[in-house]
Amino acid sequence: MSVRSQRTFWICIAVSLALHAIVFSELTGMISRPEPASTELTAELEPISPSPPPVIKPPPPKPAPSPRTTAPAPKPAAPAAPESPMPAVVPGVAELPPQEEAERPGAAAEPMASAETQPELPDEPAQAPSTPPDVPVAADDPPADVKLPQAGRITYEVFYGTEKFSVGRSVQTWSIDKTSYRLTSFSETTGLVGLFRPYLYSYVSEGRVEAGRLRPERFSARRGREGEREATASFDWEAHRLTFGASPSPRTVPLQAGTHDFLSFIYQLAQTALTPGRIQLLITTGTKLNRYVLEVGAEEDVDLPLGNV
């Protein structure tokens, strides 16, 4: 191929390539998706005015105070009536110094009658308490038809709670014949109470029996953790003197008829025909001599496990 022919050939090739490029670009523009028009966003900055401060409501006004009511002037007090003279206190109940504990015999007599303790009387002068005119002495009542067995022994057990824990025991014994008697009472704590709080009471009463009535001659009382506190009472019926108290300073007072100790009065009441009313008892606990007034009510039937009595 000549040079002229080669030049013509390459010119034709170049023209063909140019035409293909033009056609291809147009076809590409026709089949391509139009791009969505962009959305312009415009932002403007505006100054914000400050919010107004909160409105504070003033507190409600206080209510006007109510006018005070002026109390009327007190009336002049009436002249005080002259005081009536204090009733005379009958001397007679002697007692030991305050450090001695007083026992309460009325508690032992609760099953039979309610006890009303008269006010204690001064120690000096040591005289037996006088008998109120309207209250007879228990010794004046006739003996009852019911007689106690000549000798006996009763044991009481004290339980606590539904589980029946043993907390105490008391043993009462008596021996009474036609001329003399001997009574004992021994009580103590048992179980855990006895282990942590041991305590005991022991009483012994001895004397004569005259016309169906007990006349105590000797009485002793012991109490404490080991019974270390002891007091005694001695009845001298011929000399009409009662000596009682703890050593070494016992007291002596006149002995009146019907006087009993803390133990003998229980058995005496059990053998006395009691009638409704009030009776007087003079009782010594070994440390004191007190006057007690028992009020006896009407007889009542009581339902017991052993039957109606």
Residue of 174, 124, 177 lying closest to 153 (CA atoms): 174
Determine the Cα–Cα distance for residues 214 and 257; give it in Å rounded to an integer: 11
Residue 119 confidence class, pLDDT cut points 50, 70, 90: very low
* Domain limits, the chain: 110-298
Tell me what the mean pLDDT of segment 259-288 comes to. 92
Q: Which residues pair with 210 in a beta bridge?
A: 213
Indicate the pLDDT class of residue 26, thresholds 50, 70 and 90: low
What single-letter amino acid sits at 131?
A: T
Read off the pLDDT band of 271 (50, 70, 90).
confident
Task: Encode pLDDT of 216-244 as tens digits.
Answer: 999 999 998 887 888 999 999 999 999 99
Return the pLDDT at 282: 95
Q: Are strands 165-176 and 180-189 parallel, antiparallel or unpaired?
A: antiparallel
Please report the pLDDT score of residue 222 as a whole number.
Answer: 92
pLDDT band of residue 46 (cuts 50, 70, 90) is low
The confidence band for 127, taking pLDDT boundaries of 50, 70 and 90, is: very low
Q: Decide if pLDDT at 47 tops 80.
A: no
The pTM of the full predicted model, rounded to 2 decimals, is 0.54
Q: What is the pLDDT of residues 163-216, one digit of tens each?
A: 889 999 999 999 999 999 999 999 999 998 888 999 999 999 999 999 889 999
H helix or E strand, kind and range, residue 5: helix 3-31
